[in-house]
Structure 1
């Protein structure tokens, strides 16, 4: 009997020791990457894929562009008071003041991405009747200007003008066609509510999706097109489109969690 117990102990002890060893040694049981090997989220480019975008800012300094433009490779390590990570570091904040500088042909300031190609070296330019072109944005609007509470949050622009865009006007989230229809997506949008939108362009038709649902189809042939995403406020405290009573420190802001473009 003693010999049998002894032999049983010799058989079980290694198993118990191995089990205890694994439980007591994280290096033997851990499958996750160590914390120091995880990517550091420091810039907006760590959250959004920005390779084929450039950023237009609501300021005009000695930097290239008028107003300033941030292109690749500078955009990979760029952040500022207009373009930065949210506190949770899971989205990028786009912020534009109504007193900001504007691009040629516009009266309103923007902090907005403009689609590029060739790894950010060339402006994107495509046709609504050739290939398929998709823009997806997962976002939320977090602030509107004080007086004229309007902001554009995603658009298609052709060689000369905007074609169609997603826009928030007070509490109305809409699709707006240039000199055309206005489709209400949400009549009572609450600031801070997360949603997604998508343009899908092919065969002269622009399909518009809201939270995964097809809500509108716009038929138009256009050339020299490109996508835009960000915060394009539709109010100003100065210039030809000055809004009476709008403070120059009034602003609009958007948080984008994900955006991507696909061409086929």
Structure 2
């Protein structure tokens, strides 16, 4: 995978929690020093003199992994520190001098400041060290022998100026106890800076002479394509190793003239199963990375689960929570067929056992210059989907969306799940991000048997148009990250 382009501003969000009290032992909290639930933290102001003008608009960067030395309090491991839950019972807690927690950012970044939100910081001091790294091997100290500011209860802002380095991938916080005990108790860490996830210039690093796998790491995907070379009666599936070893199809899946990965799907073609209504050229996430001894289905190392699922499911899965990031341009949509089907295509999904926590749509009607973006959430507990419009309208008679996305216009999407919270962000150069979230607490995807996988490509949502009509999109960046998943 290659992620390229100009840096854009961001805010790196990590959630951490801890506890205090020298009498706390594994599984037992000192009732006299039980941590209190913090007030809702205030977001630190962005730097007044950022290193790059493109840092002026902070954006969220997710954390793909959190880890420690394993000597945390039972039930309060590192996974709790990135679940977005500010309750004191959702925390990372570790006793002792020199206890460390390390975070891997989803992409290399320029870091301009790091902000620490300590538990009970109005009544005690926390002692700590802080470092950053590009490779998890060589570390650059940001703070040594640090002591928190016992003041307002707001974040403690640590500005990186001379210490600033590019391509930061890792943050490491070392806890050295607090002024009351040896317990390390931090609730949240945020950072500000820039990353390069959004492509804003012609892509020079994508080589048009290479197959898609020459420009993208496709080892943890397989491809569904609307052909039937094996005479099975259903669409062909190109498994991980074959796909990542130069596979391409000159009609449906190939490298474009600008080096992008092209997906094209007709209205009529072979489908993935007898129960599937529409035709697709689409990638399906495969965390097993070619290890065919692992089944494609089930709560196993090929699939991922929510952090709201039981711990047994999290231990068995290939990852916990997830983020799908893509940069693409939709090149063509259907213009013929039934009114409710014209112009719509699914460009990203989360699929569960039988249902879809999210289907992300792009839709452009024939008389409009620009297209809309919206998503559907399918709950396991209700028959009808819930729809969330983000840009424009999904209506069959929608007017031209003033802030819509034209064909061939590059944009990015980020689909992210933390516990039962689903969030979607649409990112475009020179425009404010458009974000939406959905609470999946009542959708039953946190049941112990529910497993997830991402999908990306073009899933044509028209089955009634002319035989030569089609959908097409070109992808310029694609990444999938999960806690505990190390490709």
Change over 3 Å in CA distance of 1:64–1:92 after alignment to 2: farther
Indicate the SS of the match to 1:192: coil
Report what 1:125 is aligned to.
Answer: 303
Distance in 1 (CA, whole Å) between partners of 2:434 and 2:407 is 23
Runs of at least 4 residues of structure 1 off by over 6 A?
none
Indicate the SS of the match to 1:78: coil
Q: Return the structure number with greater helix share.
A: 1
Indicate the SS of the match to 1:153: strand
Instruction: Find the partner of 1:140 among 324, 329, 332.
Output: 329
Preserved CA contact (<8 Å) 1:54 1:120: no
Distance in 1 (CA, whole Å) between partners of 2:269 and 2:351 is 21
Report what 1:219 is aligned to.
Answer: 439
Preserved CA contact (<8 Å) 2:208 2:255: no
Report what 1:96 is aligned to.
Answer: 265
Q: CA deviation at 1:72?
A: 2.3
Report what 1:204 is aligned to.
Answer: 420
Instruction: Find the partner of 2:223 among 47, 55, 64.
Output: 55
Change over 3 Å in CA distance of 1:60–1:224 after alignment to 2: same
Change over 3 Å in CA distance of 1:177–1:189 after alignment to 2: same
Preserved CA contact (<8 Å) 2:390 2:434: no
CA-based RMSD: 2.0
How many residue pairs match? The answer is 217
Report what 1:231 is aligned to.
Answer: 458
Q: CA deviation at 1:85?
A: 0.6
- Structure 2 residue 276 is matched with structure 1 residue 106: yes
Preserved CA contact (<8 Å) 2:390 2:436: no
Indicate the SS of the match to 1:73: helix
Structure 1 range deviating more: 143-152 or 226-235: 143-152
Preserved CA contact (<8 Å) 2:233 2:270: no
Indicate the SS of the match to 2:475: strand
Higher-Rg structure is 1
Instruction: Find the partner of 1:69 among 230, 233, 237.
Output: 237
Distance in 2 (CA, whole Å) between partners of 1:217 and 1:154 is 16
Report what 1:173 is aligned to.
Answer: 373
Q: CA deviation at 1:40?
A: 8.7
Runs of 5+ unmatched residues, structure 1: 1-38, 237-242
Change over 3 Å in CA distance of 1:106–1:64 after alignment to 2: closer
- Structure 2 residue 409 is matched with structure 1 residue 182: no
Runs of 5+ unmatched residues, structure 2: 1-206, 297-301, 310-319, 337-341, 365-370, 379-384, 393-400
The TM-score, its normalising length taken from structure 2, stands at: 0.42
Residues 212-264 of structure 1: CA distance to partner in whole angstroms, max 9, x if unpaired?
A: 7361111224121110000111012xxxxxx2xx1122110010001010011
Indicate the SS of the match to 1:156: strand
Distance in 1 (CA, whole Å) between partners of 2:417 and 2:353 is 16
Preserved CA contact (<8 Å) 1:82 1:95: yes
Q: CA deviation at 1:50?
A: 0.4
Distance in 2 (CA, whole Å) between partners of 1:146 and 1:234 is 12
Indicate the SS of the match to 2:213: helix
Q: CA deviation at 1:189?
A: 2.2
Report what 1:24 is aligned to.
Answer: none
- Structure 2 residue 262 is matched with structure 1 residue 84: no
Structure 1 range deviating more: 132-141 or 40-49: 40-49
Distance in 1 (CA, whole Å) between partners of 2:344 and 2:265 is 12
Indicate the SS of the match to 2:305: coil
Report what 1:35 is aligned to.
Answer: none
Distance in 2 (CA, whole Å) between partners of 1:258 and 1:189 is 18
Higher RCO (CA < 8 A, seq sep 6+): 1
